[in-house]
Amino acid sequence: MIRRFLQKQPFTLFGFIFFVVIIFILIRSLSSGNMYEIVLAAGALLFLSGLGFSGLWARRKLTALEPLWKPPVPLTAVMRGNGSGSNAGGVGGGSSSYGGNADKWQVSCSVSKLPLFYRLHFLLRGSFLPQGTSLKTAVFSQCVLGKNMNSAIFNLDFPLGGILQGKGSLRLRDVFGIFSFYTGSPYEQVLTVRSSPSENKPFRIQPASGAEDRRNKSSTDEERYYMREYAPGDRLRDINWKSSEKIDTLITRISPDNQEKVSLIEIVFRNYGPKNPSIGDLWLLDRAKARLCWFINTLAAELNSLGSGAGENINYIFHISCEGREWELQSMDEIDSFPGELAALSFAPVNAESPPMPSADKGDIYIFSTSCDTGLPAFLLSKAAQKTTLFLSHNFVPKGEENHNTALLRLSDFPALGFLPLSAGYIHAQLKNVNVNYPGVLLDYALIKI
């Protein structure tokens, strides 16, 4: 009810105080007979009345106005170095902090003319859910469209990936800061925010050592071969000389088997964690997602370059499994859209995992997890027969590694970016060192600080 009253009343806090002062001066001057104060207070009151009525009249004409706000595509939390060096793919050679040179948000609306002394203000309010959890954060950002302007830009940086539930609305305000009128129709959007890119790791990926190499078969096998006209580069042994002699044209036999090599890459993303995670736990999950996306993009690029260098097309399938969901990425378009789908994935309860079953050696497997995953040691033991590579994000930093490739999330920067934490979960997480004595594990350090 209070919020509705504040939306309907036309004064700002400064405007209300200014109006009360004018009324006080006018009443005192009338009682004392001071003509100078009477003229001054009456003139100020007349000016306020004209300014207010012109704003109310313009507000009626802008009732159907709808602001369209467009975020950068893709919407990504970006990294910002702390002076130790950074690059587009993350941070190299030093610790890092979030933020940075985010793309501009755009807002537009069709306005013909505004009254004198008035400007349109765009306000973006809503909630940000880090990693899709219930750890709610209030979001606020605004910009001024200016006089006779139909568009404007504003900045909104995200500290980590998640879901934004935002509502864009318009305010008609005067340049003196006295009146502020809600106008137009609010425009709501639900957007996914991708995790900021992870730093490059000195890790050599062997594309040829995928979990499975197979040949695609033709959908029909009615004939063993089919024929086509000879093309430069075809093998001479595939030429059908009898058929070529009949029609006086070289004809080549082609096998119905598609000889494009297909590499199957098996990936397990273990998103197991606490039921009520803190922001530190979610920061670990954010860094694990970023490492997974880095791995997929790096391996896809190497497979594509390998195929071009070998003179053949190499197809690849990334089979990604996590608690309650699976993906099969077979094209660059699917790989590009995958981080957006991953952004809303939160922790799954540890007790939701089925007991791991020992598996036979079926090829390489790549595992991504965090130090919140208490079931990770048992899962690794069940995969002992396979060649396994583990990527682990954790907040237990050994001595001497504090300033080396550590991703930092600073809680003190949240208000400066327009985020107001509304949950008690925004506290320091306890250090968690999952007992994984595993050779060749690749570690990502992720810490939060005040």
pTM for the predicted model, two decimal places: 0.76
Give the domain range for residue 296: 207-214+261-396+431-449
Instruction: List Cα–Cα distances, 2 to 5, 8, 386, 444, in angstroms.
Output: 5, 10, 62, 47
The mean-pLDDT minimum among 142-151, 372-381, 427-436 falls in: 427-436
pLDDT of res. 423 = 74
The DSSP result for 8-45, as a single string, is: HS-B-HHHHHHHHHHHHHHHHHHHHT-HHHHHHHHHHH
Distance CA 19, CA 25 (A): 10
Per-residue pLDDT, 205: 63
pLDDT (mean) for 279-300: 90
- CA–CA distance, 154 with 134 (Å, rounded to integer): 27
Could you give the number of structural domains in the chain? 3
35 shares its domain with 149: yes
- Mean pLDDT for the chain? 77
CATH code for the domain of 298:
3.40.50
Same domain, 38 and 112: yes
Q: Specify the DSSP class assigned to residue 350.
A: G
User: What's the pLDDT score for residue 184?
Assistant: 83
Determine, yes or no, domain membership for 63.
yes
| pLDDT, tens digit, 9 for 90 and up, residues 54-84 | 888 888 888 878 888 888 888 888 765 443 3
DSSP string, 229-296: E--TT--GGGB-HHHHHHHTS-EEEE-SSEEEEEEEEEEEE--EE-SS--HHHHHHHHHHHHHHHHHH
Signed CA dihedral, 429, 430, 431, 433: sign only: negative
Q: Is residue 167 part of a domain?
A: yes
301 found inside a domain: yes
> Domain check: are 111 and 187 in the same one?
yes
Does a structural domain hold residue 269? yes
120 and 168 in a single domain? The answer is yes
User: Are 141 and 229 contained in the same domain?
Assistant: no
Domain co-membership, 233 together with 269: no
| Statement to judge: residues 170 and 230 lie in one domain | no
Percent of the chain at pLDDT exceeding 90: 14
Residues 266, 313: one domain?
Answer: yes
Residue 347 lies in a domain: yes
**C-beta separation of 373 from 273 below 8 A:** yes
Whether residue 357 has pLDDT greater than 50:
yes
The pLDDT tens digits for 112-165 are: 788 888 888 888 999 999 998 878 889 988 888 866 677 888 888 888 899 999
Query: Is 60 exceeded by the pLDDT of residue 257?
Result: no
Are 123 and 231 members of one domain? no
Looking at residue 33, its pLDDT comes to 84
Given a contact cutoff of 8 angstroms between Cβ atoms, the answer to whether 179 and 55 are in contact is yes
In a domain, 271, yes or no: yes
Q: Do 50 and 179 lie in a common domain?
A: yes
Same domain, 168 and 26: yes
Answer yes or no: is 410 within a domain. Answer: no
89, part of any domain = yes
Percent of the chain with pLDDT over 70: 74
Q: Which helix (H) or strand (E) holds 299?
A: helix 279-310
Clarify whether residues 253 and 371 are in a common domain.
Answer: no
Quote the CA–CA distance of 232 and 90 in Å, as a whole number: 46
- How many Cα neighbours within 13 Å face the side chain of 416? 8
432, 350 in Cβ contact below 8 A?
no
